[in-house]
Amino acid sequence: MKKALAVAMLMALGWAAPVLAQDKPRHDAPPAKAAPSEAGGIQGQNIFDVKPDASDEPGYATQTNAERAAVQPGNNAPMWRQVGGGVTGYSSLPKSEAPEAGNLIQPFVRYPGSMLTNAGEAWRQVRNRWLIPYGGALVLIALGAVGLFYWRKGTLQLHGAETGRKIERFTAFERSAHWANAIAFSILAISGLMMAFGKFFLHPVIGGTLYGWLSYLLKNLHNFAGPVFAVSLVVVIITFVRDNLPRKEDLTWLVKAGGMLSAQEVPSHRFNAGEKVMFWGGVFVLGLVVVGSGLVLDKLIPGLVYERGTMQITHMVHAAATMLMMAMFIGHIYLGTVGMAGAYDAMKTGYVDETWAKEHHELWYDDVKAGKIPAQRSQPAAPAATVKA
């Protein structure tokens, strides 16, 4: 056994000796230079270690990426300068489905409220510096205003006693259109507020898992409620546009602020000037802007090129319009529920008492009493047939 081990060691030394002798460098021979292919590419990541004076060469600023790599390996500034400048590269994705697939970074723009920077960063600045803080403040101010008004004034009551005689203020069709639009708006408002502000006040309380599921649910409700809101909005506009046309009496109502300061109601027709401002400003203008921008965000407008810039501008318009719309509708919802006695019953049952009509819409009440407007506009339901035994 020992003899075999000794033979093995000698054989190993015998085979290794020529190799060691061959690899041993001669002291009188110059050191061998490594071939270029053996250098291994870039030797360091610090570009200043490789021709630090390359920037002094003529044409340095206009070099291509290949030319720059020859003097400063690892310096890809020309390529990223082109990328940041909006140069379009090659992409195998179809142009119709991905018009910006070859553009990694958008060109520089200056959106209202942003610095001069690439469009993506400009949009982020507008959203985080303006839409979120000031939009949230506007909604809180509106809520605070109605809360303060309710605290100081309470529910506005009738001055006279009810007569028991009813006037039909809203037909079943009008109420259906209104409630469909109101419910869809409420879903959109709650889900929109969650998407905009939820991570600030709700996520820290309920945690990421529950907040994620809640956000997922509300986002889908937002998508489904949007078309309902769009259709019902058009129906509401067509249904109520005639009675919201301006009249000369509206100017008097606006000058006296509807009698809120004098505690004496200013005569008005079926809708007063305040309701008309809500209709034309909140429902017609802002409503159509919100619906139109929402259709663009859902990519439902045919023939429109859906680029990042288009979606960024559309989102800013959509967010600003919805914040203004919510602020206006907070006052409308307040007066239609707890702010004014009898207002909610008008939209719930369709009928108001004669005293309510006379005190809040005297000119409309006078037209009803004069026979210009029927007190019962919809066809009353036929009495149920009596079944005889």
Residue 49 lies in a domain: no
Residue 47 lies in a domain: no
Number of domains in the chain: 1
Q: What one-character DSSP code corresponds to residue 282?
A: I
Residue 166 lies in a domain: yes
Average pLDDT of each block of 10 consecutive residues along the chain (389 residues)? 45 40 44 47 51 73 82 80 73 78 83 91 95 96 95 88 92 95 96 93 93 94 95 97 93 84 81 94 96 94 89 96 96 92 92 93 93 84 49
Is 211 within 8 Å of 202 (Cβ atoms)?
A: yes
User: CATH number, domain at 299?
Assistant: 1.20.950.20
User: What was the pLDDT predicted at 262?
Assistant: 66
Residue 82 lies in a domain: no
Q: Which residues contact 100 (CB under 8 A, 6 or more apart)?
A: 307, 308
User: What was the pLDDT predicted at 317?
Assistant: 97
Tell me how far CA of residue 77 lies from CA of 59, 62, 65, 82, 117, in angstroms: 14, 11, 7, 9, 18
Residue 91 lies in a domain: no
User: What was the pLDDT predicted at 50?
Assistant: 55
Q: What are phi and psi of 342, to 5 degrees?
A: 90, -15
Residue 142 lies in a domain: yes
Rounded CA gap, 257 and 265, in Å? 9
Residue 38 lies in a domain: no
Q: Which residues contact 318 (CB under 8 A, 6 or more apart)?
A: 289, 290, 293, 294, 297
Q: Which domain holds residue 355?
A: 117-170+241-369
Residue 386 lies in a domain: no
Q: Which residues of 18-38 are buried (b: 16+ CB within 10 A; e: fewer)?
A: eeeeeeeeeeeeeeeeeeeee
Q: What one-character DSSP code corresponds to residue 311?
A: H
Tell me how far CA of residue 259 lies from CA of 228, 253, 274, in angstroms: 36, 8, 11
Closest CA to 58 of 50, 49, 67, 66: 67
